[in-house]
Amino acid sequence: ALRGRGLDVHLFQRSGHVLQPFGEAVADRVEPELTAQGVTVHTATPVEALCGDDRIEAISYDGGRQPVDLAVVGVGITPNTGVVADTDIELGAGGAIATDKFGQTSRPDVYAAGDCATAHHTVTGEDTWMPLGLTANRGGRAIGSTVAGNPEPVGDIAGTAVVKAFDLECGRVGLIDDEAAREAGFEPVRKTITAESRSGYYPGGAETDVTLVADRETGRLLGGAIVGADRAAVRINTLATALNEEMGVAEVERLDLAYAPPFSPVWDPILVAAKVLRGSIQ
Amino acid sequence: ALRGRGLDVHLFQRSGHVLQPFGEAVADRVEPELTAQGVTVHTATPVEALCGDDRIEAISYDGGRQPVDLAVVGVGITPNTGVVADTDIELGAGGAIATDKFGQTSRPDVYAAGDCATAHHTVTGEDTWMPLGLTANRGGRAIGSTVAGNPEPVGDIAGTAVVKAFDLECGRVGLIDDEAAREAGFEPVRKTITAESRSGYYPGGAETDVTLVADRETGRLLGGAIVGADRAAVRINTLATALNEEMGVAEVERLDLAYAPPFSPVWDPILVAAKVLRGSIQ
């Protein structure tokens, strides 16, 4: 949006690549796209200070100083648990209010949902803290039903997220970080493939990269990421559904996914990724 | 494509609405779109004859005659089983060559795949004949693996299909026909909802209609259809995955599907449909 208004945009990123939660394969597509669209990307470059007297005039970082008119700061969030600070209600993952599968806190008559509360992770089975919009919405509705006498679980969270970077659509779901997968007791194996989004002869297709991560021992799908310019992001919902059902990579490979030249090649990019990953596990 | 070249296009359809396998809710969106794009749609109008001497000059139908320069005829297909006509190899659903889950025919050393062979239906569990491109591809690969000593099931078929009608994208999967659902032993309940494809404030969204069909007694999802102008078709893969896993509508409603304003409202249209259908079952 800022580039669209003709501004000179610099992106400073502390980590080694952009879009950290989406994994390296997505970042490897997004960074050149940002550059091509005129954004100057500074990875592995923490901002040290916002400089200026009355207003921000520059930011400083290791080895440099960048004059700016405007700074958009994204430094993460923490759960706002002030509302229970003076109570004995227990906190859990990420310092959020610990809840069970009905959103109930450690006190039977108190429920919590949304960005302040923990949730149950689809893949690890552990409590986690992932503040996302749908999770908050679902939790609110389910708890409303539960306290009105009709118990309704708030639902697990797979960490499904999608984002747009100019024309690139990015999606991620589940455990795609090797370290997180190992901590959860899995031995992650990963493959990234590039496939066309449409039949080769049909105009308008775009290269779509799919990364899948599975557990070597069981073949269970652990997570995935997708990036591409042609309807890539919503394809992540197929993987979110597969994770919810604890599907193995071999089962994903046999899914009857849609084929028609304007929308997909005979083998959907997800099926290609499952086939390649399965080949490397067996 | 014919309209794109400026031709006067008439569509004659024997059934009461177009795109019969996609159900009425999709047809109710597609027919006005076809009309708006200049196609004259004649539903419930079987063509009686192609007329002409040296070449086709007109088609005749009950109560009329339409001069034409060109006729594109779609009257369905039948499985080509000539290759086994002089053998004792058994035929099955739709007159196709009967196969088991490895593609094996009634003769142990003979396998069949593709448009001539039966397949195992994801929802009904019965043999069926649904000639679709991915099914043929999967079957060929799996049988190749099996006969090479590495048994590999050919995979079930959910009847996932997508099609483009000008700017409208249509998808269908599973059992969406009431009669077929009853024959398979289910009591179908159906809901169609209309939801925006993006957050209301984000430009480029389009009304997306989702039809879901479930079994009243068990709540199991039986099938679904989707139509809309903004990334509607590939969303059908979420339902194909849910059918493969025999998910219930309540489970579908709790899926952690992707939300970001350019791609989806907080509640994906599929989640809205699951919520509404579940409400009508309970």
Q: Which residues of B touch A251 (CB under 8 A)?
A: 244
Q: Provide the pLDDT confidence category of residue A234 given band limits of 50, 70 and 90.
A: very high
Look at A244 and B258 and tell me if their CB atoms are within 8 Å: no
**Vertex A20: Cα angle to A16 and A22 (nearest 5):** 135
Q: What is the mean pLDDT of residues B228-256?
A: 97
> Where does the pLDDT of residue B1 fall: very low under 50, low under 70, confident under 90, or very high at 90 and above?
confident
- Quote the percentage of chain B above a pLDDT of 70: 100
Q: How confident is the model at residue A145 (pLDDT cuts 50, 70, 90)?
A: very high
Residue A156 forms contact with B (CB below 8 Å)? yes
| Nearest chain B residue (CA) to A137 | B266
Planar angle of CA B227, B231, B234, nearest 5 degrees: 80
- 3-state SS record for chain A: CCHHHCCCCEEECCCCCCCHHHHHHHHHHHHHHHHHCCCEEECCCCEEEEECCCCCCEEEECCEEEECCCCCCCCCCCCCCHHHCCCCCCECHHHCECCCCCCECCCCCCECCCCCECEEECCCCCEECCCCHHHHHHHHHHHHHHHCCCCCCCCCECCCEEEEECCEEEEEEECCCHHHHHHCCCCEEEEEEEEECCCCCCCCCCEEEEEEEEECCCCEEEEEEEEECCCCHHHHHHHHHHHHCCCEHHHHHCCCCCCECCCECCCCHHHHHHHHHHHHHC
Residue A249, chain B, CB below 8 Å: the answer is no
Q: What is the mean pLDDT of chain A?
A: 96
Hey, is the C-beta of B138 within 8 angstroms of any chain A C-beta? Answer: yes
- At residue B223, does pLDDT exceed 90? yes
Give Cα A61 distance to the centre of its chain: 27
Distance (Å) from the alpha carbon of A137 to chain B's nearest alpha carbon: 8
Chain B contact set for A150 (CB, 8 A)? none
Res. A256: pLDDT tops 90 = yes
Considering only CB atoms, B260 lies closest to which of A122, A156, A163, namely: A163
Give chain B positions within 8 Å (CB) of A258: 160-162, 171, 173, 233-234, 236-237, 240
Task: Please tell me whether the interface predicted TM-score (ipTM) of this complex is above 0.85.
Answer: yes
Angstroms from A133 CA to nearest CA on chain B? 7
| Domains assigned to chain A | 3-67 (3.50.50.60), 82-147 (3.50.50.60), 161-281 (3.50.50.60)
Cross-chain residue pair B255–A241, CB shorter than 8 Å: yes
| Token couple for A139 | 């939790």
B241: nearest CB among A156, A242, A264: A242
CA distance to partner chain A, nearest, from residue B51 (Å): 33
In this structure, are residues A194 and A208 in contact, taking their beta carbons and an 8 Å threshold? yes
Closest to B258 (Cβ–Cβ): which among A138, A237, A268? Answer: A237
From the list B122, B160, B242, which residue is nearest A241 (CB)? B242
Are A263 and B161 an interchain contact pair (Cβ–Cβ within 8 Å)?
no
Model pLDDT, residue A192: 98
The confidence score (pLDDT) of residue B179 equals 95
**Taking Cα atoms as reference points, which of A247, A134, A245, A271 lies closest to residue B221?**
A245
Say whether residue A194 is in contact with chain B using an 8 A CB cutoff: no
Q: Is pLDDT of A282 > 90?
A: no
pLDDT at B259: 96
Chain A residue whose CA is closest to B174 = A256
**Tokens, residue A144:** 């409303």
Contact B251, A235 (CB under 8 A): no
- Looking at the complex, report in whole angstroms how far the Cα of residue A266 sits from the nearest Cα belonging to chain B: 6
User: Nearest residue of B to residue A166 by CA position?
Assistant: B262
Residue A115 near chain B (CB below 8 Å): no
Q: Which of A152, A227, A237 should one mutate to test binding to chain B, selecting the residue with the greatest count of B CBs within 10 A? A: A237
Nearest Cβ partner of A263 from B158, B233, B259? B233
pLDDT at A1: 84
B 55-94: CB under 8 A from A: none
Please give the average per-residue pLDDT across A129-144, as a whole number: 95
Of B173, B236, B245, the CB nearest to A245: B245
Structure tokens at B134: 């991915």
List, as ranges, residues 164-193 from B with C-beta within 8 Å of A. 164, 169, 171, 173
The yes-or-no verdict on residue B234 having pLDDT over 90 is yes
Q: Collapsing DSSP states into helix, strand and coil, what is residue B190? A: strand
Compute the distance between CA of residue A220 and CA of residue A199 in angstroms, rounded to an integer: 29
More confident residue, B1 or A56: A56
Collect all residues of chain A within an 8 Å Cβ-Cβ radius of residue B247.
Answer: 241, 245
Q: Does residue A278 belong to the interface with chain B, where contact is any CB pair within 8 Å?
A: no
**% of chain A surpassing 70 pLDDT:** 100
Q: Which three-class secondary structure state does DSSP give residue B271?
A: helix
* Residue B282 confidence (pLDDT): 78
d(Cα A104, Cα A112) in Å, to the nearest integer?
6
Q: Supply the pLDDT for residue B117.
A: 97
Whether the predicted pLDDT of A255 surpasses 90: yes
pLDDT of residue B63: 83
Residue of B122, B132, B255 with shortest CB distance to A244: B255
pLDDT in tens, A74-123: 988 999 999 999 999 999 999 999 999 999 999 999 999 999 999 999 99
Mean pLDDT, to the nearest integer, of B25-44?
A: 96
Percentage above 90 pLDDT, chain A: 97
Are the Cβ atoms of B258 and A240 closer than 8 angstroms? yes
- Please count the residue pairs, one from chain A and one from chain B, whose beta carbons lie less than 8 angstroms apart: 154
Asked if A150 reaches chain B (Cβ–Cβ under 8 Å), the answer is no
Residue A63 — very low, low, confident or very high, per pLDDT cuts 50/70/90?
A: confident
Question: Where residue A260 falls among pLDDT bands split at 50, 70, 90?
Answer: very high
What pLDDT does A72 receive? Answer: 95
Average pLDDT over chain B, rounded to an integer = 96
Residue range A235-260: mean pLDDT, rounded: 97
Q: Report the chain B residue with the minimal C-alpha distance to residue A173.
A: B258
B240 contacts A256? CB cut-off 8 A: yes
Rounded to the nearest angstrom, the minimum Cα separation between A281 and chain B is 15
**Predicted pLDDT of residue A109:** 93
Q: For residue range B166-190, list pLDDT tens digits in order.
A: 999 999 999 999 999 999 999 999 9
CB nearest B155 (choices: A160, A256, A260) = A256
State how far residue A147 is from chain B, nearest Cα, in angstroms.
18
**What are the b/e assignments for A225-254, b being 16+ CB within 10 Å?**
bbbbbbbbbbbbbbbbbbbbbebbbbbbbb
| A169 chain-B contacts, CB cut-off 8 A | 262-263
